[in-house]
Structure 1
Amino acid sequence: MSQPVENLRVRRTRKLLRDALVDLVEERGFDRVTVSEITDRAMVSRAAFYRNYRDKYHLVEQIFDEAMARLEDSMGADGRPPLERWSAFFEHLDAYHRMYGALLGRRGSPWFAQRMRAALADMVAPHFPPPRDESTPGLLPTVLSSMFAASITWWLENDRPLPPREVALRSADLAAAVIARANGWQPST
């Protein structure tokens, strides 16, 4: 009987801590935020923090892992065309724009931004055959993931001036140009 109450309490504590982290990153920048400030803002004890996380980096790691799971669910592999999945990706970003904006923005977490780029590279890599030019393995997914991360950051830092579908279309068009150019690469001699 106490299990559901405890689960609710744990979920509530985690939400408070995450919301506090986002607020503080927006105000002060990730590097300057301390665990003490997070717990004070969330109005939870340091013991409650440490029951859930090792440190602020672990908190960000958990936010990232859960965000990526939600992202993969939103994009799904349900037979939808890639552009529809990409639009779903931006709809997901839109729904959690404060969190992504805080963690990917100028004052955010470089670790989170790197993990986002790596996750995007992993998501696009299976869609491309090995490069004809063996001197550049992994270059195309890396470039595309950096371009996508820059598109996301631009969109969030500019208060999402385009609807999710429109920014998805524009970033997909840019990716198509890069892919077309990469498909014309000739092996080095």
Structure 2
Amino acid sequence: MVELIEERGFDRLTVGEITQRAMVSRAAFYRNYNDKFHLVEQIFDEAVVALVGTMSDDDRPVRERWTSFFEHISTYHRLYGALLGRTGSPWFANRMRTTLAELAERHVPSTAGVSTGLVPTVISGMFVQTITWWLENDRPSPPHEIADRSARLASAILAEANSWPGPPPVRSRRRPAGERGT
């Protein structure tokens, strides 16, 4: 599948092409997966289990955990590069951002400024973009270096968010004069 995504792009990829390349019948494919999204979701779920495993040892320093994260990305660079790159899947990139935001939410200190959900969302977007850049540029720095730089950027975001007095106010939308509600 990775080869097909690299060749044709995820959006243009068909189940028929996947089954032909994998030398399995369409019936066998559909016994296990609903469609190509379900296949990628299963692959991603397995990768996330491995990824979370690299990050879950809270006894290790944060930078070591981030290094493990980027080592995981490096180990599976073809998969992540295919799915996050130019021919990849916006659906997959969004799924990865959402998953990383959920992870960040659990590990980000719950302060008034950070608990709004904005900060985990920004951090997850930053990491997905960092991964994409790193892979598209053929991993120009080793995992420990990109991990250190990313962790430092995330720390700067957290420091800024922790200086906020509280969550941003929620403003109601005012209707222009003459606009009626429906």
Q: Tell whether the 8 Å contact from 1:130 to 1:137 is kept in structure 2 after alignment.
A: no
Cα separation, 2, equivalents of 1:77 and 1:111: 29
Q: Give CA-to-partner distance per residue, 1:93-126, whole Å, 9 cap, x none.
A: 0000000000111211111111111111111112
Measure, in 2, the Cα distance between the counterparts of 1:131 and 1:30.
Answer: 39
What are the residue-to-residue correspondences of 1:28-177 with 2, within 5 Å?
Answer: 28-77=8-57, 79-133=59-113, 137-177=116-156
Q: Partners of 1:77 and 1:173 in 2: how far apart?
A: 20
> How far apart, CA to CA, are the structure 2 residues paired with 1:75 and 1:124?
11
Count of aligned pairs: 168
Partner Cα separation in structure 1 for residue 89 and residue 164 of structure 2: 35
**For 1:184 and 1:76, how far apart are their aligned partners in 2?**
27
- Structure 1 stretches (4+) deviating beyond 6 angstroms? none
Equivalent pair of 2:101/2:124 in contact (CA under 8 Å): yes
Where 1:161 maps in the other structure, the secondary structure is: coil
Q: For residue 64 of structure 1, what is the amino acid of its counterpart?
A: F
Compute the RMSD of aligned alpha carbons: 1.7
Aligned-pair CA distance for 1:131? 4.2
What is the TM-score with the length of structure 1 in the denominator?
Answer: 0.83
Any idea what SS the aligned residue of 2:11 has? helix
**Helix, strand or coil at the partner of 2:34:** coil
Contact 2:113 2:162 in 1 (8 A): no
Alpha-carbon separation, structure 2, partners of 1:22 and 1:90 = 19
Could you tell me the percent identity over the aligned residues?
63
SS in 2 for 1:79: coil
Distance, in Å, in 1 between the alignment partners of 2:7 and 2:109 is 44
More off after superposition, 156-165 vs 120-129 = 120-129
Give the conservation status (yes or no) of the 8 Å contact 2:113–2:163.
Answer: no
* Greater gyration radius: 2
Describe the shift of the 1:127–1:30 C-alpha distance in structure 2 as closer, same or farther (beyond 3 A).
same
> Which structure carries more relative contact order (alpha carbon 8 Å, separation 6+)?
2
1: CA distance between counterparts of 2:107 and 2:24?
45
In the TM superposition, what is the alpha-carbon distance from 1:43 to its structure 2 partner?
A: 1.5
Structure 2 residues not aligned, in runs of 5+: 170-182
